[in-house]
């Protein structure tokens, strides 16, 4: 199993189980190796989580870079809302307040999140002429809808209506 495949599999486990509930035994069983072999790759569960978080952050960063360049506003908004659920990207939910109780991990998550906030602000300033508060408000709405997985559960016109409202609120001057 390649490193990226290993991290992706473990990422899914962290998506399905709280950090405190996931054991090294569960991980070893899921990936089909013995627990000592797992410790060869990761000296602790915390180290494993941070490795997965780094992998997940990289995947999320690439997704954002590509998605924020999409010319179709409706497609961009839909992808932003559905990404965490469709990919089970750990960083997309780990950046939510209160996800992790450990200070060192929470600080790592917050630093990465701030890096992305600056990048989003730069892209939206260059692309749409937005100021930082407008960008933060847009992404707060996207994250709220993503948490509710609204577009996944909405049907037909309701989905289109919601995206249309977002388009009018943020993109039509």
pLDDT in tens, 101-151: 778 888 888 899 899 999 999 999 999 999 999 999 999 999 888 877 665
What pLDDT is attached to residue 80? 92
* For residues 74-97, average pLDDT: 84
Terminal Cα distance for the chain, rounded: 50
Q: Among 50-64, 82-96, 132-146, which is the least confidently predicted range?
A: 82-96
Task: Determine the average pLDDT of the residues in 88-92.
Answer: 86
Closest-CA residue to 55 (of 8, 112, 104): 8
The pTM assigned to this predicted structure is 0.83
* Number of domains the chain contains: 1
Residue 58 pLDDT: 95
| CATH classification at residue 38 | 1.10.357.10
Higher pLDDT, 85 or 50: 50
- Classify the phi-psi angles of 152: left when phi > 0, otherwise alpha if psi is within -120 to 50, otherwise beta: alpha
Largest CA distance in the chain: 59
Which residue range is the domain that position 66 belongs to?
Answer: 3-170
Average pLDDT over residues 142-168: 75
pLDDT value at position 29?
Answer: 95
pLDDT at 9 over 60: yes
Q: What is the pLDDT of residue 44?
A: 94
Number of H helices, E strands in the chain: 10, 0
Split at pLDDT 50, 70, 90, the class of 153 is low
Q: What average pLDDT does range 40-60 have in this prediction?
A: 93
Q: Of 52-56, 74-78, 82-86, 153-157, give the lowest mean pLDDT range.
A: 153-157
């Amino acid at each position: 199993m390649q490193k990226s495949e290993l991290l992706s599999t473990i990422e899914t486990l962290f998506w399905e189980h709280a950090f405190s509930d996931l054991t090294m035994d569960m991980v070893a069983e899921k990936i089909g190796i013995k627990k000592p072999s797992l410790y060869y790759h990761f000296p602790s569960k915390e180290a494993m989580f941070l490795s997965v978080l780094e992998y997940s952050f990289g995947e999320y960063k690439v997704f954002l870079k590509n998605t924020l360049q999409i010319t179709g506003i409706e497609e961009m908004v839909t992808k932003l809302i559905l990404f965490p659920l469709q990919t089970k990207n750990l960083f997309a939910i780990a950046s939510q307040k209160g996800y992790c109780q450990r200070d060192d991990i929470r600080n790592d998550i917050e630093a990465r999140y701030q890096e992305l906030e600056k990048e989003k602000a730069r892209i939206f300033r260059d692309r749409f002429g937005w100021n930082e508060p407008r960008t933060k408000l847009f992404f707060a709405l996207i994250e709220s809808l993503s948490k509710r997985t609204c577009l996944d559960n909405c049907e037909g016109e309701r989905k289109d209506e919601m995206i249309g409202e977002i388009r009018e609120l943020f993109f039509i001057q």
